[in-house]
Chains A and B, each alone.
Chain A
Amino acid sequence: IAGITQAPTSQILAAGRRMTLRCTQDMRHNAMYWYRQDLGLGLRLIHYSNTAGTTGKGEVPDGYSVSRANTDDFPLTLASAVPSQTSVYFCASSGLAGAGYNEQFFGPGTRLTVL
């Protein structure tokens, strides 16, 4: 693999179900991020991790959890999905955290529909 991969590409989920979105990068980047993108709104940060073993809350963390057991993987879990979590989810990574020039590289996205 090269860059960032996300799985699944798309998913339809019943409300109340648990779901984990997977994200893997092979660039040895320290920082990783989860965003959601909704029509008419900018990308909104859900959770982030500046380095393996640490995580932080973003702008819209409620209903989501993350873990960062190693450098490459950063899964996002919806414990009990609700329709308002219908969105396109992007995982991103960057080489440095806490740096001005901190270009983020994005995965292809997961389109999630909660019914």
Chain B
Amino acid sequence: GQNIDQPTEMTATEGAIVQINCTYQTSGFNGLFWYQQHAGEAPTFLSYNVLDGLEEKGRFSSFLSRSKGYSYLLLKELQMKDSASYLCAASDSNYQLIWGAGTKLIIKP
């Protein structure tokens, strides 16, 4: 079957760094997406990885290892506005997204 695993909740301190992990098992693989979702709002796109390695975009970076079925999202210099859920989604052989349940990130002052 197809499955995405990510931690349910994480807590971090303002100004610190946090890494949110995601493991995936899909029928075929066409890339890994990360989305951010604030409470009561729609998901918004953060990053896409299809090749192994690190993609950096400002304070956010995303890493992919295809051989391990593993990705992480790295958030640096955490701000209170980063409090949100972070959704990992893998694109399968039909280019449909398989979504994880999301990781709720709580930022403390």
Contacts and interface: CB of A to CB of B under 8 A. Distances in A.
Interface of A: 35, 40-45, 48, 58, 90, 97-109
Contacts of B42: 90, 106-109
Interface residues of B, number: 23
20 contacts: A40-B8, A42-B98, A42-B99, A42-B100, A42-B102, A43-B97, A45-B96, A45-B97, A90-B43, A97-B95, A100-B31, A100-B95, A101-B48, A103-B45, A103-B48, A106-B44, A107-B42, A108-B41, A109-B41, A109-B42
A41 B99 CA distance: 9
Interface string B86-109: 010101000111111110000000
Contacts of A40: 8, 101
B95 A42 contact: no
B28 to A, nearest CB: 11
Of A40, A41, A42, A99, chain B has the most CB atoms within 10 Å of the CB of: A42
Contacts of B91: 100, 102
